[in-house]
Each structure stands twice: as structure tokens, then as C-alpha cells.
Amino acid sequence: MNARILPYVLILPVTLFLCLFFLYPFILVAQQAFSTGSGFTLDNFRDVTSHWKFPISMKNTLLLAAAVVPIQLALALLMATMVSRMEKGRDLVLYIWTIPLGISDLAAGLIWLAIFEQSGFLNTMMSGLGVVDKPVNLLSYQHPGIVFLAIALAEIWRATAIMLVILVAGIGLIPKEYYEAAEVFGASPWKRFLRITLPMLRPSLQTALVLRVILAFEIFAVVAALGGTLFPVLMGETYAYQFDLLNGGAAAAIALIILAISIGFTLLILRLLRVPKGASI
């Protein structure tokens, strides 16, 4: 076949598929969000934003992202640098550290439920140590802090691995000579990390952060498993509007709000971590 046409033939299936199942539904969401049956309107947005739960779920989602993402970034960087200088057992350690990558948010929520629930392992340990005399219902409205902590821990536990993988791959792309050169010039390990690893890792940091932040705004199942209705988040509200309230327009409006926040943060991250032209490896 003609080499000019062949590539288009090869990308045709994906393009058609994405137009049909990505672009088209996206347009439908937008349409649905901006209409209540008759013409263009912002009613849906007014409805959802004026609902008493909206500010709370917005605050919760952002707070959770703000608490979780920086810790994950620090943890992933720490783990990635540890792995990069590991000689023995590197494969095993990497395997263990990347296990959560394959675990769904729902399963992660259930795993941490086993720890935090009333007859769970945390209570068992605390009573074993004599901190409490009888099991406490930690995941209840009396302990909003602990609910938040449990959700944050489950998220950190589950989703650090994706950042780790991206960063390990990124560190692998940095030529060893730079470190050796820096060492010859007398840079301490900490300085080498600060002056070489971090700047050169910028493209990977971009990818990792964008992906992570977007996923953080989509948090849903972990919360459903651990907090239930105690801790409303945006994605959970979307689900509730769609199913419990059967209000598709409102669900679409929240969906667009989540999208807007995601795009806003993506642009912000790309801007903050931009790599000057010609300064890439």
C-alpha cells in the first residue's frame, strides 16, 4: 500500500473510536450541562453550586488533593532516588513498591477499611497497647479528622506508585556522567539531587504531577469505601446527582466543573515546571 496513505489507514480506527466515544460524549456532556430542556442556560451550574453540599465537597476534594499530592511527590522522589542507587534486590523492591499501581481505588479503600473499621487492625493494636480500652468507631461523624486521615492514607498508599514509576523511568534517562561530573566538582549527594536530578527530571515531574492531580480530582471509590456520606467529594456528588437524584443536567455540570479544575491545574503545572527550549537532555 502507498506509504502516504498507510499511516492514515492505521490511525483511522483510533480516531473514529475516540471521536465516537470521547469527543461526541464530551459534546453531549457540555450540551446537557448548559441546558434544562430549552435553550442555553446556566441553571444547572446555579443549581449545583447553590446546593449546601457543593462548597463542602469542593473544599474536601481540594483539601484532599492538597494534602495527598505533595506527600506523594516527596515519597515518590525519595523512593525513586533510593532505587536508583540500589544494587542488590532492586527488582524485588521495585516490584513490591509498584504493586499498588494495579490495585483499584475501591480495593484500596477496602484494604484501609480493614485497618480503620471498628473491629479493625488499628483498634486491635491500640487496645493491645492500652491506648483505648474498647474498640472505637473511628470512621464516624465524631471523628472527621480520622476519616480524612484514613482517606488520605489510602490515597497515598494506592497512588504513589504511578508517580514512582514515572520518576524512576525519568531518572533512568539522566546520563550518569552528569552525576560523576558534579561529584568531581565537589557536590554533595543532597546538592546533586537538588541541582541535577530535580531540574533534569522536570519533564517526568510534569507528567507525574499532571496525571496525579487529575486523578486526585476524580477521587471517588476510596471515599465511598471509607467515608461514605461522611466525606462528600465532587465525583461522588456527580454519581449522586445521576443516580439518587436522577438529574443528568446537574451531574453534567459538576462533571464540567471537575474538568475545568483539572485543566486549570494542568496548565498551572505545565507552566511552573516548563523546560526552557534547548535545555532538555
Partner 1 sequence: MTDAVAIDTGADTRKWGKYLYVSSVVLLCAWVIVPIYFLMINTLSSPETVSSFPKPFFPEFDLGSLKFFAGFAGMLTALKNSVLVAGMTMIMSILIGAPAGYALSRFEFRGKGTFRLLILLTRAFPLPLLALPLAVLFIRTGLDDTAFGLALVHTTLALPFAVLITFSLFSGIPIELEEAAWTLGCNRLTAFTKVVLPLILPGITASAIFAFVISWNEVFAAAVLTIENRTLTAFLLQNLDTSPLHLKFAGGFILVVPALIFIFVVRKYLFAMWGIANR
Residue 245: CB minimum distance to partner 1, A:
13
In the region spanning residues 30 to 89, those forming contacts with partner 1, defined by CB under 8 A, are: 32, 78-79, 82, 86
Binding partner 1 by CB under 8 A: which of 64, 68, 77, 94? Answer: 94
CA torsion, ordered 192, 194, 195, 197, to nearest 10 deg: 70
Comparison of 50 and 119: residue with beta carbon closer to partner 1: 119
Binding partner 1 by CB under 8 A: which of 95, 194, 195, 272? Answer: 95
Q: Can you tell me whether residue 174 is helix, strand or coil?
A: coil
Comparison of 173 and 194: residue with beta carbon closer to partner 1: 173
Residue 221: CB minimum distance to partner 1, A:
4
Interaction mask 249-278, partner 1, x per CB under 8 A: --xx--x--xx--xx--x------------
**Radius of gyration for the alpha carbons in the chain, expressed in angstroms and rounded:** 23
User: Do residues 3 and 226 make contact, with C-beta atoms less than 8 angstroms apart?
Assistant: no
Binding partner 1 by CB under 8 A: which of 69, 117, 148, 233? Answer: 117
Q: Which stretch in 34-42, 51-59, 66-74, 160-168 sits in contact with partner 1 by CB under 8 A?
A: 160-168
Q: Which stretch in 25-33, 34-42, 49-57, 61-69 sits in contact with partner 1 by CB under 8 A?
A: 25-33
Residue 176: CB minimum distance to partner 1, A:
16
Residue 44: CB minimum distance to partner 1, A:
12
Collect all residues with Cβ–Cβ distance below 8 Å to 219 and sequence separation of at least 6. Answer: 61, 64, 65, 105, 151, 155, 233, 235
In the region spanning residues 178 to 237, those forming contacts with partner 1, defined by CB under 8 A, are: 203-204, 207, 210-211, 214, 217-218, 220-221, 224-225, 228, 235
For the chain, where are the alpha helices, taking DSSP H only? 6-18, 24-33, 43-50, 53-84, 90-98, 105-116, 121-128, 144-172, 176-184, 189-192, 198-200, 202-217, 221-226, 234-243, 248-272
Cell of 116: 480503620
Give the 3-state secondary structure of 214-227: HHHHCCCHHHHHHC
Binding partner 1 by CB under 8 A: which of 37, 39, 102, 276? Answer: 102
Comparison of 121 and 141: residue with beta carbon closer to partner 1: 121
Rounded distance, CA 232 to CA 264, Å? 22
Binding partner 1 by CB under 8 A: which of 36, 56, 84, 120? Answer: 120
Q: Can you tell me whether residue 40 is helix, strand or coil?
A: strand
Residue 38: CB minimum distance to partner 1, A:
18
Residue 223: CB minimum distance to partner 1, A:
11
User: Do residues 49 and 233 make contact, with C-beta atoms less than 8 angstroms apart?
Assistant: no
Comparison of 105 and 148: residue with beta carbon closer to partner 1: 105
Rounded distance, CA 116 to CA 3, Å? 60
Count of residues in contact with partner 1, rule CB under 8 A: 91
Collect all residues with Cβ–Cβ distance below 8 Å to 149 and sequence separation of at least 6. Answer: none
